[in-house]
Amino acid sequence: MKIIDSISRMSVLIKILKKEGKSIGFVPTMGYLHEGHLSLVRTAKKHTDVVAMSIFVNPIQFDRREDLEKYPRDFKHDEGLARDAGVDIIFYPSVKDMYPDGYSTYVNVEGLTDYLCGSSRPGHFKGVTTVVAKLFGIVKPDIAYFGQKDAQQAIVIKRMATDLNMDIEIKILPIIREKDGLAMSSRNINLSEPERKDAAVLFQALKKAEALVKEGERDAKKIIRQMEAMIKGKETAKIDYISIVDTKDLKPMSTVLSEALVALAVFFGKTRLIDNIIVKA
């Protein structure tokens, strides 16, 4: 496994691989790896000759300074996990290399970023699409892998790749969960013991929404109210949003017709967690 910490060295390596006719699978991450990230790597390994993973905590996608400072980092640990999972290249650039003095170009996907996390974290998606566009430009992957865990991010990136003719296939893979249903996240390490226990309610609330729809409930407000009641029952939880939206354009739905994305963001203490489920009427 190669560890490349500069953009120029990465570009040289990618040029060589392309010349050799190798297909490149790409897994962008912010590190502090867990089984969610590694599941993307394992799938990428089945599809492409070379798997590159980026580890970069992207400062411009954080809307709260404290969140950026508290974001967990452990490169040595990540290195071991990545090697074991079969990553061929870790791309680990510095902030200075990615955003040198004078940096002024941003990518913004309109419309889709007005909802869900886009409205509660201003500027977040502009930061995400900008860094992913840059990483795509450096790594030049054939296929890039993202998790359904960040459902809106996945849709926004697909839109960007299509709109900007990036000629990269975007694959979205299922959410990997802990035994109690909590979606794996690098941020989970920041939860205190009571917060970690309470956080299991997120998946329970999402499953409740799914069950209600299965039973014939179509009124989004009623479903959301029941989810709210469950989450508010946990002392450490503070709801940021619970929304039921169209799976394609992310517009809020008042009536659940055919397919809907039930998405939520909830603070446990200072840690903000997101999760979602797709329900079918």
Catalytic residue IDs: 37
Binding mask 34-63 for ligand AMP (x = CB under 6 A): --xx-xx-----------------------
Torsions phi, psi for 119 (to 5 deg): -85, -25
| Site residues (CB under 6 A) for ligand AMP, limited to 158-217 | 175-176, 183-186
Using the minimum distance from each CB to ligand AMP, give the nearer residue, 129 or 186.
186
Using the minimum distance from each CB to ligand AMP, give the nearer residue, 24 or 256.
24
Q: How far apart are CA 152 and CA 259, in angstroms?
A: 15
Scored b (16 or more CB within 10 A) or e, 242-251 reads bbbbebeebe
Contact predicate 242/228, CB 8 Å: yes
Q: Contact region for ligand AMP (CB under 6 A) — 88-96, 147-155, 199-207, 228-236?
A: 147-155
Residue in the block written with tokens 């950026």: 68
CB of 43 to ligand AMP, least distance (A): 10
CB of 152 to ligand AMP, least distance (A): 10
Using the minimum distance from each CB to ligand AMP, give the nearer residue, 113 or 185.
185
Q: Contact region for ligand AMP (CB under 6 A) — 32-40, 44-52, 206-214, 266-274?
A: 32-40
Taking CB under 6 A as the rule, does residue 149 contact ligand AMP?
A: yes
Q: How far apart are CA 252 and CA 249, in angstroms?
A: 9
Q: Counting beta carbons within 10 angstroms of the beta carbon of residue 16, is it exposed (0 to 12), middle (13 to 18) or buried (19 or more)?
A: exposed
Q: Contact region for ligand AMP (CB under 6 A) — 143-151, 223-231, 245-253, 258-266?
A: 143-151
Q: How far apart are CA 70 and CA 64, in angstroms?
A: 10
For residue 153, give the H/E element and its range. Answer: helix 151-163
Tokens found for residue 6:
């500069």
Q: What is the identity of the amino acid at 161? A: A
What is the DSSP secondary-structure string of 63-78?
SSHHHHHHS---HHHH
Using the minimum distance from each CB to ligand AMP, give the nearer residue, 134 or 149.
149
CB of 30 to ligand AMP, least distance (A): 4
Q: Which residues bind ligand AMP (CB under 6 A)?
A: 29-30, 36-37, 39-40, 146-147, 149-150, 175-176, 183-186
